[in-house]
Amino acid sequence: MNTLLGYSLGLLCRHKRSTIFSTVRAEFIRTEENTVQITAVGQKNPRKFLPTSRTEISLDEYIERPKNQIAEAEWALKKLGFFIKQPHTTTN
29 near 39, Cβ under 8 Å?
Answer: yes
The domain locations on the chain are 3-84
The tens place of each residue's pLDDT in the chain, 92 residues long, gives: 899 999 999 999 888 877 888 889 999 999 999 999 999 988 766 556 655 688 999 999 999 999 999 999 999 999 998 988 876 555 54
Reported pTM = 0.83
The helix/strand/coil state of 28 is strand
- CA separation (Å) from 75 to 5, 6, 16, 37, 87? 16, 15, 15, 14, 12
